[in-house]
Amino acid sequence: MSMLSNGVSGLNAANAGLNAVSQNVSNAAVKGYSRQTVVLQTNDGALNGVKVTKFERVVDDFLNADIWRTQSDLNYYESYQDYLGYLEEVLGTDSLNLNDAVAELNAAFNAALSAPESPAYRQQVISSANAMVQDLQQLDGALTGQVRKLEFELEAVTENVNSVLQELADLNQNITKEIALGRDAATLLDSREQAINRLSAYVQVEVMQEDNGAVTISALNGAPLVMSGKAAVLSVAGTEVTSTFNTQQFSISGSAGGSLGGLLRVKSEVLDPARTELNNLVTTIATQVNDALAEGFDLNGNVGEPLFSFNPADPLGTILVNADLSPDELAFRGRVPDGAGGWQPAGGKGDNSNLVNVIDAMKGVATGYDGLIGKLAIQSKQVQASVKTAQVLNDKALASRESISGVNRDEEAANLLYYQQLYQANAKVISTAGQMFDTLMTMF
- pLDDT tens, 115-155? 999 999 999 999 999 999 999 999 999 999 999 999 899 99
**Which is higher by pLDDT, 53 or 100?**
100
pTM of the model: 0.84
Q: Residue 130: what pLDDT?
A: 96
Q: Residue 329: what pLDDT?
A: 95
Asked if residue 225 belongs to a domain, the reply is no
Same domain, 274 and 346: yes
Contact 18, 419 (CB under 8 A): yes
Q: Which domain holds residue 301?
A: 91-144+264-376
Taking the C-alpha atoms of residue 249 and residue 257, their distance in angstroms, rounded to an integer, is 18
Residue 184 CA to chain centroid, in angstroms? Answer: 36
Asked if residue 110 belongs to a domain, the reply is yes
Same domain, 112 and 48: no
Same domain, 357 and 416: no
Q: Residue 24: what pLDDT?
A: 81
Contact 334, 347 (CB under 8 A): yes
Taking the C-alpha atoms of residue 348 and residue 327, their distance in angstroms, rounded to an integer, is 16
Q: Residue 239: what pLDDT?
A: 76
Same domain, 32 and 130: no
- pLDDT tens, 314-355? 999 999 999 999 999 999 999 999 888 889 998 889 999 999
Same domain, 413 and 370: no
CA angle, 309 then 312 then 318, to 5°: 50
Q: Which of 51, 9, 18, 60 lies closest to 37 in space, CA to CA?
A: 18
**pLDDT-derived band at 444, boundaries 50, 70, 90:** low
Same domain, 32 and 109: no
* 127-152: burial string, b at 16+ Cβ within 10 Å, e else: ebbebbbebbeebbebbeebbeebbe
Same domain, 419 and 339: no
Contact 215, 67 (CB under 8 A): no
Asked if residue 360 belongs to a domain, the reply is yes
- pLDDT tens, 205-222? 999 999 999 999 999 888
Asked if residue 74 belongs to a domain, the reply is no
- pLDDT tens, 290-318? 999 999 999 999 999 999 999 999 999 99
Asked if residue 35 belongs to a domain, the reply is yes
Asked if residue 206 belongs to a domain, the reply is no
DSSP assignment of 131-148: HHHHHHHHHHHHHHHHHH
Give the chain's domain count: 2
Contact 344, 338 (CB under 8 A): yes
Same domain, 124 and 272: yes
Q: Is the pLDDT of residue 1 over 60?
A: no
Asked if residue 296 belongs to a domain, the reply is yes
- pLDDT, averaged across the chain: 90
HSE-CB for 17 with a 13 A CA cutoff: 23
Taking the C-alpha atoms of residue 309 and residue 373, their distance in angstroms, rounded to an integer, is 26
Beta strands in 200-327 (DSSP E): 205-209, 215-219, 224-227, 230-231, 233-237, 240-245, 248-251, 308-309, 320-321
Q: 333: which DSSP letter?
A: B
With a pLDDT cut of 70, the percent of the chain lying above it is 98
Same domain, 314 and 367: yes
Same domain, 54 and 101: no
Q: Residue 46: what pLDDT?
A: 64
Of 376, 396, 421, the position where a domain reaches its end is 376
Overall average pLDDT of the 51-69 stretch: 88
Asked if residue 156 belongs to a domain, the reply is no
Same domain, 362 and 426: no
Neighbours of 113 (CB within 10 A): 13
